[in-house]
A and B are shown apart, each in its own frame.
Chain A
């Protein structure tokens, strides 16, 4: 492979990684506070893709984007209220089964409403404009994604570290029960967490599907799981870690496909997960906790 091709693939990989990173943040935020692997997160990402298809059919693209993001965010919050809140004091297995159930429901709902036949994702001409840098060429969306990701993550880190809401989120992720006792409105914190996660998933969805041709009801499963691995890789509960994990997986996956091992690109991610869980379960930047007997 020539240097140019390699760099071209790297560029694609970084772009993919950016989208993955945004989605991974949703997992890491929710797990940090609720200790829940939100299996439905990937399907929220998938639904956002469908929302965009229908929004773009009726509205000009700037408005369509806003509508999609709003609906996606609302959907995430509603899911939390209906499916996770009632189980907050139940054993962990129950809430995980609920998340799987929501994922199942969303996939079947999408199949019912939109059929399993891939739906073409419409093009936003502006985003698909090709730019050339030296010998490399890429569409605007490919170039934009990593930049946008880093800006959003920086904003998010500012929010978490400098605002009151952010402090509440950090407190809740350290010690849920005590945070409640200290008067923090846990419901609001959780709602904000899911809202942010879903919003970022929506943005990630737009960036991801613009470069793909189509959406199916199952488009969210694999990316969803991969993004969870990214979150684990970076250290579950750690925001920059999740993004770095996303970039890492995005690049490796793209390179594997380019080298001809596409069937293994998915398996690689899971292998990475298992290796991580065995060698360093707290991830690259995670913290260790000791369980008191």
Chain B
């Protein structure tokens, strides 16, 4: 039985009258690649945002590496308009800001690339190392942490070499071609030394060849960095190729769970995608 790295229990996110994520129950096993798919607007990125602390859930619980990192139940105005289920299961409120969750070992990339555009490639990755710094403000200012600073720089350079971007070290992040920008974002997330990596549509805008390269790239970094990967994707080939387990969302609800083969032949899934069938 694999260790479960991330688990959600009845996770529900409601904005005003719209239930964006409804009763999400996922379990992400360690060392595997799990995917979250579904038509546009199904609530996938919202789920990511709740899990990483960007939003406070309306109801439910998020458990990361055995620790409850988020929990809530409908309160105040939401009590009246809550449209989900099981509201009485959760009694506490646990809120963590995204930076805290990242430091616990969960890193993410963004659907619309959010690099530090005016900074260099190297700086983008180096900054991500800041969350692991031991030196306090004064020690860092007076460079009493020379060894630590050098180690951060060396590790960043090493990381960029691993993803194949070492020749662009001093270029501005915004000057990189699209595909390399996506790789830089992944390198940056890796710099925070995560155990769980969340990728939000990493293959968006890529052609089939690039997507194939990305697939092997994800598998290789999973091995070399001992990661668990959780990804949102639309490119079915990528998903079916590398995922060990797939969750399918539609209008916020989970309509299927299983291996690639199981999900492919699920009639509900086929219907949700309105005729997107694997030939």
Contacts and interface: CB of A to CB of B under 8 A. Distances in A.
B45 A293 contact: yes
Interface of B: 15, 45, 49, 54, 110
A293 B15 contact: no
B13 to A, nearest CB: 12
A117 interface: no
A293 B198 CA distance: 15
5 contacts: A290-B15, A293-B45, A293-B49, A293-B54, A293-B110
Tell me what chain A mostly uses at the interface: helix, strand, loop, or mixed.
Answer: loop
A68 B49 CA distance: 54
A57 to B, nearest CB: 53
Contacts of B110: 293
A293 B54 CA distance: 8
Contacts of A293: 45, 49, 54, 110
Interface residues of A, number: 2
A287 to B, nearest CB: 11
Contacts of B45: 293
B44 to A, nearest CB: 12
Nearest to B54: A293
Interface string A274-293: 00000000000000001001
A11 B49 CA distance: 52
Nearest to B46: A293
- Which 5 pairs between the two chains have the least Cβ-Cβ distance? A293-B49, A293-B54, A290-B15, A293-B45, A293-B110
Nearest to B48: A293
A293 B232 CA distance: 15
A286 to B, nearest CB: 16
Contacts of A290: 15
A293 B201 CA distance: 13
A279 B260 CA distance: 49
Nearest to A290: B15
Nearest to B200: A293
A247 B38 CA distance: 52
A207 B45 CA distance: 54
Contacts of B49: 293
B205 to A, nearest CB: 18
B18 to A, nearest CB: 11
A232 B15 CA distance: 25
A293 B112 CA distance: 8
A209 B110 CA distance: 54
A293 B15 CA distance: 14
A63 to B, nearest CB: 54
Interface in A38-96: none
A290 B45 CA distance: 15
A116 B29 CA distance: 74
Nearest to B98: A293
B37 to A, nearest CB: 19
Interface in A240-293: 290, 293
Nearest to A292: B45
A210 to B, nearest CB: 47
A69 B33 CA distance: 68
B138 to A, nearest CB: 30
Contacts of B15: 290
Interface string A219-238: 00000000000000000000
A221 to B, nearest CB: 34
A194 B54 CA distance: 37
B156 to A, nearest CB: 25
Nearest to A288: B16
A117 to B, nearest CB: 47
A293 B48 CA distance: 10
B15 to A, nearest CB: 7
A290 B110 CA distance: 17
A258 B151 CA distance: 66
A138 B148 CA distance: 74
B99 to A, nearest CB: 14
A90 to B, nearest CB: 14
A290 B54 CA distance: 12
A262 B17 CA distance: 47
B214 to A, nearest CB: 22
A290 B49 CA distance: 13
A99 B110 CA distance: 34
A284 B110 CA distance: 35
Interface in A152-207: none
B120 to A, nearest CB: 20
Nearest to B55: A293
A42 to B, nearest CB: 33
